[in-house]
Structure 1
């Protein structure tokens, strides 16, 4: 690996990866983000995945970073990426998803415009001069967004919680920010007057237009800097709407399908599942926290979702796989599980999916 490339990669991931590589000595440090009762996923100081695995430590991090297996992504923008201007709203039984990039999507349903994990910054990093850099511009310009009603933020990693974007959205749209416990600290730092709904796993609230949002488990972790590992919660979301249910996951490990089975049992079925399919290599390091495309398709089936949108690929290189590897692996997974490719869309920036009516809704 060239010295310049390694330096850029090392500095780029320092806060994202090293923030999770804290020694056990600091494991009981005070939690400055959240104070609440002990639960089956909170020990009074840190959150955890019940029966799950913790992210790898510093030694494994170094082993990964020096493995020499990181694929080279192109410097040029993704040729399949486009820039679109969305409609003002979508009503009736219609459901539309437009890809901004990575895990940022615009969901339009029941007259509401909902953004997921919005990141418009050039880098997923605490600094503007270094960090994982997007290879394509956002598929929607900030100034072209329709009225934004809801912003879902699944956890506090820099590729999902972007404070400059939050500040811009709060100023221009004054939306309701919905996020798991502890993440309000990062939102209010840049948008002190924002309306924030904090949720624990199992919580839910009614929005309007017959839409409600529920907070569900995901197998992941959190960290924003050195010393705050797992001090804010991570989650998936379920949107119950007049047009059908939507299951949105920002990041997750497969976790033996436990959370997918639970979601299917609780909600019956989904019209759409929005699932990560990238950032999964090497498996020995990433498996606990990032599912691969085969696991995503298995999860879709376990949750009884009619259609799916794949994300977390072809925008920001965080892990070792090549830029086009997730889509190739997704095609193989669809064939393996006998799933019609028309049911699963891996959207590039600017891609739009008008989701068909649900198959055999429960």
Structure 2
């Protein structure tokens, strides 16, 4: 148990969260217990100005599935890729968005920073009524203030997020209905329960708030089965996948497969497609969707490299390709296990 006087002294330096010391919170910053240390500023400079080659992406790519119009409600399970880490999950009559992002840039400003290459697979005005938002962490490609304000104005959804992000969201989106939870929490919402668990990542909105809000994977438990959503993670010896097994069998795992090069820099925070396949096997999911690729160029690999590497990793493990699909914007996952349609 932490000494309260020490905790209070440290917490004044954290603008988002004031809570007890734990195995992943030192009173000021969160961390990955037993995990690989995250890169510092010198490593960032080495990546940005070193010899690693950055692929040239096309300025614009139109998905063949663009303009999907979702159903109003779905009783069983239907998942539509919007783009990057944004997916519409429809199950048990509840409409859920993960890490919603409709803006043109993943950046603190809209005149600079990573620009959208592929437009959202669902137009914002074509969204069904959104009941729930799952927000995995606060990086700009996952927590988009502009989109969250639009959702608040049009849908007033409930938001579930890890510790500290609630403080940030209340500042950025007045009136937002948000609750923040620690790893190990089980949050009931209607017919569903959302479990928050560890993943190997970090957080920041600027240069002075690194790791001051928590990150998490989320498992949705409901009548149509369990769905794992990981917004970002390093593989971390497979530990993020082992822990979710305690919730029971997974019907679907939604896993990041992009933004992984160069490996020397990215491996602590972003798994590569081969690691995603290993994670898929370890968590025991029936099927998987690959996301976090093809929308914003954040790292060095070519735009089409993630689905190509995913296909190779599946073939090497003897896994049928329809079991793990890297979906394009607007593409719809078929819960019958016949791949995707849309």
Please indicate, yes or no, whether the TM-score normalized by the shorter chain is above 0.5.
yes
Aligned mate of 2:207, from 226, 231, 234:
226
The question of 1:135 aligning with 2:117 is answered yes
**Contact 1:116-1:151 at 8 Å conserved across structures:** yes
TM-score w.r.t. length of structure 1: 0.88
**Contact 2:63-2:329 at 8 Å conserved across structures:** no
Superposed, 1:4-15 pairs within 5 Å as none
Superposed, 1:119-134 pairs within 5 Å as 119-134=101-116
**Contact 1:148-1:175 at 8 Å conserved across structures:** yes
Render the CA deviation track for 1:236-271: whole Å, top value 9, x for unaligned. Answer: 10000100000100000000001211212x023100
**Contact 1:118-1:162 at 8 Å conserved across structures:** yes
Superposed, 1:86-101 pairs within 5 Å as 86-91=70-75, 94-101=76-83
The question of 1:198 aligning with 2:180 is answered yes
The question of 1:57 aligning with 2:37 is answered no
* Mapped partners of 2:265, 2:66: distance in 1: 33
**How far does residue 357 in structure 1 lie from its aligned partner after superposition?**
6.8
Render the CA deviation track for 1:252-292: whole Å, top value 9, x for unaligned. Answer: 0000001211212x023100000000000000000010000
**How far does residue 81 in structure 1 lie from its aligned partner after superposition?**
5.0
* Mapped partners of 1:79, 1:165: distance in 2: 21
Superposed, 1:1-362 pairs within 5 Å as 30-66=13-49, 67-91=51-75, 94-208=76-190, 210-264=191-245, 266-356=246-336
**Contact 2:11-2:18 at 8 Å conserved across structures:** no
Q: Which shows bigger deviation, 79-88 or 293-302?
A: 79-88
**Contact 2:105-2:116 at 8 Å conserved across structures:** yes
Describe the SS at the equivalent of 1:326: helix
**How far does residue 28 in structure 1 lie from its aligned partner after superposition?**
9.0
**Contact 1:268-1:304 at 8 Å conserved across structures:** no
* Mapped partners of 2:107, 2:167: distance in 1: 17
Two-structure CA RMSD over aligned residues (Å)? 1.5
**Contact 2:63-2:330 at 8 Å conserved across structures:** no
Describe the SS at the equivalent of 2:251: strand
**How far does residue 191 in structure 1 lie from its aligned partner after superposition?**
2.3
**Contact 2:227-2:252 at 8 Å conserved across structures:** yes
Q: Which shows bigger deviation, 168-177 or 68-77?
A: 68-77
Render the CA deviation track for 1:218-253: whole Å, top value 9, x for unaligned. Answer: 100000001100000000100001000001000000
**Contact 1:78-1:314 at 8 Å conserved across structures:** no
Describe the SS at the equivalent of 2:115: coil
**How far does residue 184 in structure 1 lie from its aligned partner after superposition?**
1.1
* Mapped partners of 2:63, 2:192: distance in 1: 36
**Contact 2:99-2:142 at 8 Å conserved across structures:** yes
* Corresponding residue for residue 13 of structure 1: none
Query: Structure 2: which 5+ residue stretches go unaligned?
Result: 1-9
Describe the SS at the equivalent of 1:270: coil
* Mapped partners of 2:270, 2:68: distance in 1: 29
